[in-house]
Amino acid sequence: MHKPVFIAVSLFIVSFSLTAVGAQLVPDPPAIDADGYFLMDFDSGQVLAERKADQRMEPASLTKMMVSYIVAEELALGAIKPQDMVTVSEKAWRMTGSRMFIEVGDKVSIEELNKGMIVQSGNDATIALAEHIASSEESFVALMNQHAQRLGLNDTHFANATGLPNPEHYSTPRDLALLGKALIRDHPEEYKLYSIKSFKYNKIKQNNRNTLLWKNDAVDGIKTGHTESAGFCLVASAMQDNMRLISVVLGTKSKKARSTESNKLLNYGYRFYETHKLYGANQPLTKVRIWKGESEELPLGLNEDLYITIPKGQYKNLDASMSINAEIIAPAEKGRTYGTVNIVLGDKNYAVRKLIALSDVGPGTFWQNIVDSIKLAIN
């Protein structure tokens, strides 16, 4: 794939603009029958559609995405193991709502409980996991809120592990999309469990409530939720043509509606947008002159991959530019900012990223300092 490249115009600005070509127009998102919704690209973070994205709403069993995230964290740390056996408490056994149908006193593995929570949305499995990891649901909820803060879920607060209604239990369409993204990004093996279509325990087989797993081949997760007050909710994710989207619908009117409305959002995103990786992390985008250093060149690049999501057919219209500090004097520290990268399409700025030093450059010799001082004075 041809990428926008940079041609040096001066030390201060580096840019390249490609000739405009015909491009597909993008209509407004379709009407979505939900209290709130959100559609974003996984890699770029670009928001493609939203309504009441930051309004606090009940997440219902979408809450279990955070429980799942913490289970994956604990597994990665080695604090728990998939084969660890958990003794089911009376509290877990008595849980109402969706159930895995574990019995009080049963010894059930972490692996099975995790599937029971993810595939069957079992409240009983969720409480058993919470109690095993943190000794009590209350302590586990505190852990959930700590992770929410760490992940930047600024409008999310958990009051329980299952998603049962509580005035202090809320999230937003945006935060739930970010939680889904964190789960996929940080724990891809855990995320694979969300594509399991059915799970059998205690001779009871239950299907995954995410019916998009059957209706849309691109969909490989993620989680449903429902209470009378929250309505029918779904966070969905799909991968098509190396482009992953995450959709959120909250407060739809039925099981069918949450799938239909989610599908509308995903189809809209894939129909009218495309995602491109422009530059990789820690790869030199340019080398600039550094004065009074042990080297005369300083490689500059990005600290993370740069993706953009743009309307289809607009790739060749991108304008990429770099603004670089006029005079860079050694020493230079790896990771320090020395400019910015700007990606523009038409009159919209799609991305601004810091240009950082990709290596250290120490001070030059006494003689090098003298020579460069003279050159700088002449310039």
Alpha-carbon 1 to chain mean position: 24
Domain end point (choices 167, 200, 231): 231
| C-alpha distance from residue 148 to each of 64, 145, 178, 225 (Å) | 13, 5, 10, 19
Task: Tell how strand 231-240 and strand 219-227 pair up.
Answer: antiparallel
pLDDT in the model for residue 369: 83
pLDDT in the model for residue 9: 30
Render pLDDT for 99-113 as a digit per residue (tens, 0 to 9): 999 999 999 999 999
Render pLDDT for 221-263 as a digit per residue (tens, 0 to 9): 999 999 999 999 999 999 999 999 999 999 999 999 999 999 9
Residue 19 confidence (pLDDT) above 60? no
For the chain, the domain total comes to: 2
CATH number at residue 86: 3.40.710.10
**Active centre residues (catalytic):** 61, 64, 121
Tell me: do 209 and 105 sit in the same domain. Answer: yes
Whose tokens are 């809320």? That residue is 170
Tell me: do 64 and 204 sit in the same domain. Answer: yes
Alpha carbon distance 265, 261 (integer Å): 7
Provide the residue range defining the domain that includes 285.
7-22+278-378
> Can the peptide bond before residue 188 be classed as cis, meaning omega within 30 degrees of 0?
no
Residue 174 confidence (pLDDT) above 90? yes
Render pLDDT for 305-337 as a digit per residue (tens, 0 to 9): 999 999 999 999 999 999 999 899 999 999 999
* Position 63 confidence tier, pLDDT thresholds 50, 70, 90: very high
Kindly state the average pLDDT of the residues 330-357.
94
pLDDT in the model for residue 370: 86
* Position 46 confidence tier, pLDDT thresholds 50, 70, 90: very high
The answer to whether residue 243 is domain-embedded is no
**What phi, psi does 179 have (nearest 5°)?**
-65, -45
